[in-house]
Structure 1
Amino acid sequence: MSVLPTSQQALKVASSGKIILETGQPLPQLGADEVLVRVACVALNPYDAKSVDMSPSPGATAGLDFAGEVVALGEAVDSTSSRLALGKRVCGFVFGNNPDRRDNGAFAEYVAVPASLVLCIPESMTFLEAATLPCGLATTGGALYNSHSLGLPLLGSGSEVNPSNKSPTYVLVSGFIPITTSSPHNFNRLQQLGAQATFDYRSPTCGLDLRDYTHNRLASAIDCISSTDSMQICYEAIGTAGGRYVSLDPFPLNKHTRRSIRPEWLFSFTMFGHAIDWDAPYNFPARPDDRESAERWYAEIEAILATGELVTHPFQEETGGLSSVIDGIGAVRNGQITGYKLVYPIRN
């Protein structure tokens, strides 16, 4: 491997809603249990805009999803293992815009990530394809495995618009029966991904139709839209015996209208096991159990990924490298990107 540079380009959070390209930035300090990845591609997610708008950490490197190759190993990483040898192609999800680690994020030439929380990329998959995976995997894994007693079948509300919109496949391989809501033009794709049934979330009877379809036995719902309307659909759909509702954002307490339903909201960054020092309600204590769950989930999904059973997210390849990512985040923020991801190669 070539000698690492002493500095890099990175997209830095400047203020609320503003990201700028900075040169001459230090490479992230490598933790003992981490690998350093030379980034080949990055993919955009709605949360890339949302986190900078709502909880900016000035000076922090932005970005969640990346794909690239391993160029250095932390001192505690097994250097004799072939899984993460130097040059290995990997993809991952990282805590960008991190107030406690401002030198690390996906939107840079180099990123550091725990060795146990990267996925090895199969030979048949390109960096572009791999970059679309990690955020959705992390989100779905957290919803399935950090939420105890999820029942069958499982409703994924708004599966087309969230970074985890491959979730029908993940849910299916995890032993659940996936049912989704979306707009009608995405029905076929969601069913191809493994959804047993799909329902139009714009229908005024969507929730009741879901309850009827599941014979009043729906016990769990993952709300990928996390709006007042989608929460109402989920609450109407869950059977009279009650169950579990998992939102991907803080939910309005006044919409918690059924005591038989246990609501919670998922914040994927807890998977790293560290405390999160953002403003409420996005501040969390360290959750080592979430880290352990994530490591088990990543090991499971890496094995499935190697079989070719999981399809990657539809994407549009963009040009211009890191400097163009700023415009892409604006397009995501304005709702111009639906049903596919923007992916940016950042080196030749």
Structure 2
Amino acid sequence: MALAPSFMKAVITTEDHNIKVQELSNLSVSQISVPSIESERQILIHSAGINPTDWKHAKHLSPEGTISGCDLAGVVEDSGRSKEVKVGDRLAAFVHGGNYKNYGAFAEYALVEPDTSIRLPEYMSFDQGATLGIPLGTAAFALYHKLKLPEPGVVIPRSFPVLIWSGSSAVGQYAIQLAKLSGLSVVTTASFQHHERLRSLGADSVFDYHDPHVSEKIKEATHNDLAYALDCVSSEESLKSVTDAFGEKGGKVAVLLSPEGKDIRKDAEVVPVLVYTCLGKEFTFAGKKYPASADDRQFYERWVKMANGLLEEKKIVTLPTEDRGGLEGVASAFKDMEEGKNKGVKYVIHP
């Protein structure tokens, strides 16, 4: 086994969070110590995926010196004390990038936890694997743990509708597929150019969110029976549109951010989703402390086993990708993502 070098290149955040990401001033490619093995797996990263949370962390939240990036795919270089994997195994995982000095995906090496890593099937590339972590994990966490919807393989008496708002988003594309695998009637929204792809992923009905009457049309299409939704935008406007589409008995909506929801229906329950809790560690996010959640961690460990099976059986289609080069390409990718230029695709880099 080749030993990892003592130092590696990584994208780290610097002190001044008032400087915009696109100016390159709060990101730098630096040489830092390679993280050491404890009970975790050391991964040589082949591909890393870029999420909206990455540029938002770098611009607003990340402490100085933390490694940026969450989603990664690569090869096990050292399995630590783990008996479940061996050197050379191909894995995909996510870490809480932008929050620690020893965990981050935009680097040559990373540490991932023993039970939260997906095994890449032989047919799947590292780029495809780098699209899984945060988006797929968030979709599963929201649908199955937060909304308590039936998991794939569970027999349900009758199908019922679920709304995925912003189906062309990374989380949305995976959520559509999972909801369909669960036997649900999938309703989603997107710009017109994405409708055909979303239908191919399993959406039964697709609506243009630009339509001022979209909520009424969704309510009509779901026969005034919609009671579950995942809002992948999670703005005040999207939350109101989602809850306005609920049936006469109201419903429950999972949100990825924390809109206040001042103008929504009283019979709508808003459930926040933050996938980092699935790692089972205490952390601080946006000034709020989150305790370690054994319950969320247990769910995610179980989900990883389920995901391994679904991926092996080719039941999940990964996201389209766009190559943004090496670590030096992160800053320009952040700029484009902040400007909304990544519609329907996931940016990947190759450390």
Common fold, TM-score beyond 0.5?
A: yes
Aligned to 1:3: 3
Say whether the 8 Å CA contact 2:278–2:293 is kept in structure 1.
Answer: yes
Give the distance between the partners of 1:250 and 1:291, measured in 2 at CA: 22
Post-superposition offset of 1:148: 4.1
Does residue 56 of structure 1 match 2:62? yes
Query: By how many angstroms is 1:210 displaced?
Result: 0.6
CA RMSD of aligned residues (A): 1.6
* Aligned-pair CA distance for 1:265: 1.4
| Kept in 1: contact 2:57–2:98 (CA 8 A) | yes
Deviation at 1:341, TM superposition (A): 1.4
Match of 1:160 in 2: 168
Is the contact between residue 222 and residue 245 of structure 1 (CA under 8 Å) also seen in structure 2?
yes
CA contact (8 A) 1:68 1:90 kept: yes
The percentage of counterpart residues that share the same residue type is: 29
2:330 partner letter: V
Residues 30-74 of structure 1 show CA distances to partners (whole Å, capped at 9, x for unaligned) of: 331x21110001111111111222212211101011110011113
Give the Cα separation in 2 of the matches to 1:149 and 1:169.
16
Q: Does 1:339 align with 2:344?
A: yes
Deviation at 1:318, TM superposition (A): 2.8
User: Match for residue 186 of structure 1?
Assistant: 194
Give the corresponding residue for 1:93: 94
- In 2, the alpha carbon distance for the partners of 1:156 and 1:310 equals 17
2:208 matches 1:196: no
What aligned pairs does 1:212-231 form with structure 2 within 5 A after superposition? 212-231=220-239
CA contact (8 A) 2:47 2:130 kept: yes
- Alignment check: 8 A CA contact 1:132 1:313 kept: yes
**Structure 2 residue aligned with 1:122:** 121
Residue 95 of structure 1: how far off its partner (Å):
0.6
Conservation of the 8 A alpha-carbon contact between 2:236 and 2:261: no
For the residue of structure 2 that corresponds to 1:117, the secondary structure is coil
1:263 aligns with 2:262: no
Contact 2:8 2:108 in 1 (8 A): yes
Deviations 1:55-108 (A, max 9, x none): 122111010111100111132x11xx4xx221011111111011xx32110000
Indicate the residue corresponding to 2:110 in structure 1: 111
TM-fit CA distance, 1:22: 0.5
1:26 match: 33
For residue 115 of structure 1, what is the amino acid of its counterpart?
P
Structure 1 residues 306 and 162, CA gap change in structure 2 (3 angstroms): closer
Is the 1:135–1:164 Cα contact (8 Å) retained in structure 2? no
1:130 CA displacement: 1.5
- Equivalent position of 1:147 in the other structure: 146
What corresponds to 2:73 in structure 1? 67
Residue 303 (structure 1) aligns with = 309
The 5 A counterparts of 1:305-320 are 305-319=311-325
Separation in 2, partners of 1:64, 1:237:
33
Q: Secondary structure at the match of 1:264?
A: strand
Deviation of 1:115 (Å) = 1.7
For residues 60 and 51 of structure 1, what CA distance do their matches in structure 2 show? 10
Corresponding residue SS for 1:293: helix
Quick check: 1:72–1:86 contact (8 Å CA) kept in 2?
yes
Shift of 1:253: 3.5
Q: Which residue of 2 aligns with 1:276?
A: 283
Q: Measure, in 2, the Cα distance between the counterparts of 1:189 and 1:331.
A: 22
1:307 to 1:162, Cα distance in 2 relative to 1, 3 A: closer
Displacement of 1:188 in angstroms is 0.5
Note if contact 1:150-1:244 (Cα within 8 Å) is conserved in structure 2.
no
Aligned mates of 1:149, 1:60 — CA distance in 2: 34
TM-score (norm 1): 0.92
Q: Separation in 1 of the partners of 2:267 and 2:127?
A: 44
Give the Cα–Cα distance (whole angstroms) in 2 for the partners of residues 225 and 210 of structure 1.
17
Unpaired stretches in structure 1, ≥5 consecutive residues: none
1:163: how far off? 4.1
- The TM-score normalised by the length of structure 2 is 0.91
The answer for unaligned runs of 5 or more in structure 2 is 151-159
The Cα of 1:200 is off from its aligned counterpart by 0.8
Q: State the distance in 2 between where 1:168 and 1:279 align.
A: 29
Task: Provide Cα deviations, 1:137-183, integer angstroms capped at 9, x if missing partner.
Answer: 11101101221444831110012134442321122223433211111
Q: Could you tell me how far apart the structure 1 residues matched to 2:310 and 2:257 are?
A: 28
Structure 2 residue aligned with 1:246? 254
SS at match of 2:9: strand
Structure 2 counterpart of 1:200, which letter? D
Partner AA of 2:275 in structure 1: S
Q: Distance in 1 between matches of 2:77 and 2:349?
A: 20
Deviation at 1:227, TM superposition (A): 1.3
1:215 Cα shift? 0.6
SS of the residue aligned with 1:326? helix
Distance 1:163 1:219 in 2: 20
Task: Tell me the distance in 2 between the aligned counterparts of 1:173 and 1:39.
Answer: 30
The total of aligned residue pairs comes to 334
Contact 1:251/1:265 (<8 A) preserved: no
Q: In the superposition, relative to structure 1, how do residues 162 and 305 fare at CA in structure 2: closer, same or farther (>3 Å)?
A: closer
